[in-house]
Structure 1
Amino acid sequence: MAIARPVRALGLAAILMWCFFLYTIVRPGPSIKTSADFKGTVERDPQLDPSGEPGGILVRASDGYAPGIAGTERINATILALVRNEELEGMLQSMQDLERTWNHKFNYPWTFFNDVPFSEEFKRKTRAATKAETRYELIPKEHWDTPSWISDDLYKESVKILEENEIQYADKISYHKMCRWNSGLFYKHPALEHVRYYWRVEPNVHFFCDIDYDVFRYMQDNNKTYGFTITLYDAPKSIPTLWPETAKFIAQHPEYLHPNNAMAWLTDAQRRPVHNEQANGYSTCHFWSNFEIGDMDFWRSQTYEDYFNHLDRAGGFFYERWGDAPVHSIALGLFEDRSKIHWFRDIGYQHIPFFNCPNSDKCKGCITGRFTDGEAWLNKEDCRPNWFKYVGMG
């Protein structure tokens, strides 16, 4: 018996629809390695325009900043570095740049942290690199070791998944420990108990610009909590549950949200939509924390203590690769007044391949080295346009 033509047409349409349905299920999702993940335009970089010092109260160097006890003008602050003995040469490079451009005028102390004792060579050479006081501190084992609630078997299985997703440093347990320590434990070290402000400096970074004012006093006198130079997108598959865990925390503590928060910056889905999708609602924008100038009173607050403990118990510092940069950035973006977060556009900074290069007569070396063959890639990774869009340049 022949099947009527309309029935055959209907059956064919049903088969085609079913095939399309199966395709939508099994087809690969959009990749962050393609242009599908970059919907924004590259606006004119404000650093191409002439720039100078920030507005507000600025304190210049004086006799009160002399080394030692004569330095009565210094406030309660330190330059802070987590560094290994074998990174000595890279640390000396960073020290020489920061001393040349800024600290030789203000002589703030350097505080070095390590999970093993510093060698005598490390101490001798770093002391010789500055007129300021140098301090060498050992991280307590209870701050560095993997916490008791982390399953070693689950950690090993998680590493395999991270490696399949090409997540850098996934198999390095020391990297996971470092991220956790920088996120919620460094400011609890006894050596920092009475210190309020810090400037984080890592080995092998460059500082290009002469800075003629006390940066720590700028933070204090202008009521700033956090200062950054670079803001980037993170690898979304390194933090897939960070935002969902944050959402759980907010649901439990809605009172912690600051009314003038930067939620829109943290949740933007327009400029890099695949990042937002893979990170389950988080744009992955973060302050690149290998440079940060901060007020430790924020980290010591009950709000941040509760947030860090929530994340710590969730296990993502080990089962995923939660970094201190997104953790700090999310906390600042949600729980702090965004007007207290400052972009130091006048500090020329490089941590290869990323730059913060002001257009200033104090930063000529930075300007000439600013553009590289990877400029298009750098523009794609740069989250400053979103910060300027949602927050401004304050």
Structure 2
Amino acid sequence: MALPKSMRLLATVTLCIFFYMVLQIYKAPSTIEKQTSGKMKEWPRDPQLDPSGEPPEPLRRVEGDNYEPNNPNSARINATILSLVRNEELDDMLQSMRDLERTWNHKFNYPWTFLNDVPFTEEFKKRTRAATKAEVRYEIVPKEHWEIPSWINTDLFGESVALLTEQNVQYMSKVSYHQMCRWNSGLFFKHPALATTRYYWRVEPNVHFFCDVDYDVFRWMADHNKTYGFNINIFDSAQSVSTLWPETRKFIADHPEYLNPNNAIEWLQDKERRPENNEKAHGYSTCHFWSNFEIGDMEFWRSKAYQEYFDHLDRAGGFFYERWGDAPVHSIALGLFEDKSKIHWFRDIGYQHIPFFNCPNNPKCSGCVTGRFTDGEAWLNHEDCRPLWFKYVGMD
């Protein structure tokens, strides 16, 4: 017996609703819950990453002896692991070397380049050479790169130190810290020993790496046309960079041609999450890539846009009159002058620089707690700026 027309119509509608719901369930992205500002925030999984968290193919891995340290036809590209380190930080540097060698470099044997503003001791050289099969280089920072520039007014510098120290700006009274920030911002890639080097992985003393990484990260950067790789992304002390954004705006007003059409300016200007930072930093969110971990292409720093930007900031004096760090300077330049799609979050590299972590949900990781951001006080969780990066840029 044929069903009445009204019943056939109802059955058709019911089936349509059923298939529509199935389709929506199928299309819904999986999520990772993270706690942000006291609320549970869902971060979409990166569709470009497999469940292990690794970047997509092609991945260059060890095949036979293609990455052996003395292979003249090695698959290594023009890259180095780079560390600015003092002789007295030897034990902390060895800690970092052990972790990175164990998790990655014992497979790929990229050279280590150590830099210091004084000669390295024989003990430093002996013990660091023993920590790796790879080539190790020891270089001295040129004197002219480390000195306080002639245009810095020392009286004004002293007054600024007193003022910002009262405002609890960390390291403000350490001259060497200002020198280091300036050098890391605009001079490290000018070192004669790095003149022909393109890619670098910055590693500092007393950091930890937790995850086995079995692909060549430098070749991945080159294969995918990436300029910069970061791991942790946080807010800065607004008092330490009070005039950095106004000086940046002056530079952009004179050089609008350097702005990349696909920039990340929204991330740099966000004022919803930390409005007090934006106000004190005169329009800058203070979000920045924590540059104690960075994997980068030095051709960006050598570009005309960046060179002129650094020169402008250097003349403004904020590396000494305030405490401009290389992290916000690098981050602002990348966020304005580079295509944001060329900046990559290395979510699969487990890392800690006290007090912050990047700890992936990955069976290749051990020694850290999945999803943990800090081992410090609870308020430090609010320093995480990654949600804003994901909001405005994505998770590549």
Residue number in structure 2 paired with 1:58: 59
1:340 pairs, out of 342, 353, 366, with: 342
Contact 2:37 2:382 in 1 (8 A): no
Residue number in structure 1 paired with 2:106: 104
Q: How does 1:127-138 map to 2 (within 5 A)?
A: 127-138=129-140
**Aligned-partner Cα distance in 2 for 1:47–1:85:** 42
Residue number in structure 1 paired with 2:266: 264
Contact 1:97 1:208 in 2 (8 A): yes
- Cα 1:156/1:375, change in 2 over 3 Å: closer
Residue number in structure 1 paired with 2:11: none
**Aligned-partner Cα distance in 1 for 2:296–2:248:** 22
Q: How does 1:63-78 map to 2 (within 5 A)?
A: 63-70=65-72, 72-78=74-80
**Aligned-partner Cα distance in 2 for 1:46–1:379:** 19
The TM-score, its normalising length taken from structure 1, stands at 0.87
Q: Shift of residue 215 of structure 1?
A: 0.3
**Aligned-partner Cα distance in 2 for 1:134–1:86:** 18
Residue number in structure 1 paired with 2:85: 83
1:166 pairs, out of 153, 165, 168, with: 168
Residue number in structure 2 paired with 1:23: none
RMSD: 1.9
**Aligned-partner Cα distance in 2 for 1:154–1:361:** 53
1:342-368 Cα offsets, whole Å, 9 max, x none, are 000000000111000110000132226
**Aligned-partner Cα distance in 1 for 2:37–2:66:** 51
Matched, 1:113 2:111: no
The TM-score, its normalising length taken from structure 2, stands at 0.87
Q: Shift of residue 374 of structure 1?
A: 4.2
**Aligned-partner Cα distance in 1 for 2:335–2:38:** 21
**Aligned-partner Cα distance in 1 for 2:317–2:342:** 30
Of the structure 1 ranges 357-366 and 128-137, higher mean CA displacement relative to structure 2 is found in: 357-366
**Aligned-partner Cα distance in 1 for 2:234–2:373:** 17
Q: Shift of residue 55 of structure 1?
A: 1.4
Letter in 2 for 1:59: R
* Unaligned segments of structure 2, at least 5 residues: 1-35
**Aligned-partner Cα distance in 1 for 2:69–2:375:** 43
Residue number in structure 1 paired with 2:364: 362
Residue number in structure 1 paired with 2:155: 153
Of structures 1 and 2, the one with the larger relative CO (CA 8 A, separation 6+) is: 1
Residue number in structure 2 paired with 1:298: 300
Classify the secondary structure of the residue corresponding to 1:227: strand
Q: How does 1:134-213 map to 2 (within 5 A)?
A: 134-213=136-215
Letter in 1 for 2:224: N
Classify the secondary structure of the residue corresponding to 1:364: coil
- Cα 1:214/1:228, change in 2 over 3 Å: same
Percent sequence identity over aligned pairs: 74
* Unaligned segments of structure 1, at least 5 residues: 1-37
2:41 pairs, out of 22, 36, 43, with: 43
Of the structure 1 ranges 357-366 and 94-103, higher mean CA displacement relative to structure 2 is found in: 357-366
Contact 1:47 1:359 in 2 (8 A): no
**Aligned-partner Cα distance in 2 for 1:369–1:224:** 25
Letter in 1 for 2:303: S
**Aligned-partner Cα distance in 1 for 2:52–2:325:** 31
Aligned residues: 357
Q: Which has the higher helix share?
A: 1
1:263-288 Cα offsets, whole Å, 9 max, x none, are 00000000000000000000000000
Contact 2:356 2:375 in 1 (8 A): no
